Amino acid sequence: MAGGAEERGGATVDQVDRVLRELLALDAERGARAAVAALPAVVRRIPELCAEPVSLRATDRELLSSLAELCEVAGWILFDAGHLRRAERANARALALADLCGDRWTARLTLLNHSMLQAHMDRPRAALESASRVPGPRPLPARVDAIVLIRRAHALALLGDGRASAELIGRARHRFLDGPARTDPAWAWWIDETELLGHHGWVLARLGRWDRAVPLLRAAASSPGGPSYRDLFGAELLSALAGAGAWRDAEELIVGLAPRAGGIGSARTAASLGATAAGLRRRTGVPPPLRDAAVHLLEVLSGRERPPADRP
């Protein structure tokens, strides 16, 4: 491996893969806020992450692929932790490294993540464009195709194309039901029934179809286990309940969420909860108990008031 990172005393494939697993485990267990704090140490351990991708052109392809995957994961963590510009840069680096070594699957995952980031930044046309770059000359496996359809549905919902958006999210469900395939990439594991339910409900909520969105989001939010970032579905459920004017259900949800809201590891989730709670506090016609619950949730999220300790 002439010119490879190993010979220069840099990172090895095993080292990068080990760091990658550690970051994924930390993000799944404690959330992006905890995982993002680990990124500076990762950069110190793997200096190639600071190098210009073109300078790594002579590096072993397997190492380049591992570095691309690590940058993709860093981009996801930075996004979920609320560092949006840094997430954009990490995604660009992941794509450049994946291009250098021909790692099309990591490039696809990065584009799918980037589409979600662009939708979050209210850039739906750019989100649509990123998702459109994922397919290639060969048909995608069903679960990967379902993710593409989900990303496109979110973007079109933001653009106000309700009919096309609803059609795409319905097609995503049908593709998911085709089941796993031998050609699925390793990262397709997280596309499961809960993920699909949550995104289906979220897209319908973007379209204001509360009667259909709420049951789907409730099912996703109440699903046991799963990575910590799925708290987002609970936040989107609260937003949908507020949109629907379901005051009692919204109050009950806040009461259930508030005791652990201060420890939510996803900045996206905390921001969504805070925005909905602030809206309920300002909105006319909101019953006083719900307004009080919203104020309490805002205090917990800001750290001004900590939830009481559980009684023995």
Per-residue pLDDT reduced to its tens digit, 68-90: 999 999 999 999 999 999 999 99
Structural domain harbouring 64: 6-114
Residue at which a domain ends, from 54, 82, 114: 114
Domain boundary among the residues 95, 114, 133 is at 114
Alpha helices in the chain (DSSP H): 13-30, 32-37, 39-45, 61-80, 84-101, 104-120, 124-132, 142-158, 162-176, 193-206, 210-221, 231-244, 247-261, 267-282, 288-302
CA distance 174 to 172: 5
Res 11 pLDDT > 90 = no
Residue 79 lies in a domain: yes
Least confident of 180-189, 193-202, 285-294: 180-189
Residue 308 lies in a domain: no
Q: Place 190 in a pLDDT band, splitting at 50, 70 and 90.
A: confident
- What are the tokens at 128? 């649509």
Residue 179 belongs to some domain of the structure: no
When pLDDT is cut at 50, 70 and 90, the band that residue 6 belongs to is very low
Could you tell me which of 144, 76, 156 has the C-alpha nearest to residue 114?
A: 76
The answer to whether the CB of 266 falls within 8 A of the CB of 67 is no
**Span 133-160, average pLDDT:** 96
Kindly state whether residue 174 falls inside one of the protein's structural domains: no
| 117: amino acid identity, one letter | L
Predicted confidence at residue 217, as pLDDT, reads 97
**Mean of the pLDDT values across residues 132-151?**
95
Whether 182 is covered by a domain: the verdict is no
Query: Is residue 4 over pLDDT 90?
Result: no
The verdict on residue 183 lying in a domain is no
pLDDT at residue 228 is higher than 80 = no
- Final residue in a domain of this structure, among 68, 84, 114: 114
Residue 191 has pLDDT above 50, yes or no: yes
Number of Cβ within 10 Å of residue 186's Cβ equals: 8
Q: Is residue 134 part of a domain?
A: no
| Number of structural domains the chain divides into | 2
Q: Is 167 part of a structural domain of the chain?
A: no
**CA 97 to CA 86: how far, in whole Å?**
17
Q: How far is CA 274 from CA 25, 214, 239, 240, 297, in A?
A: 27, 19, 10, 14, 8
Amino acid at 214: V
pLDDT score recorded for residue 307:
39
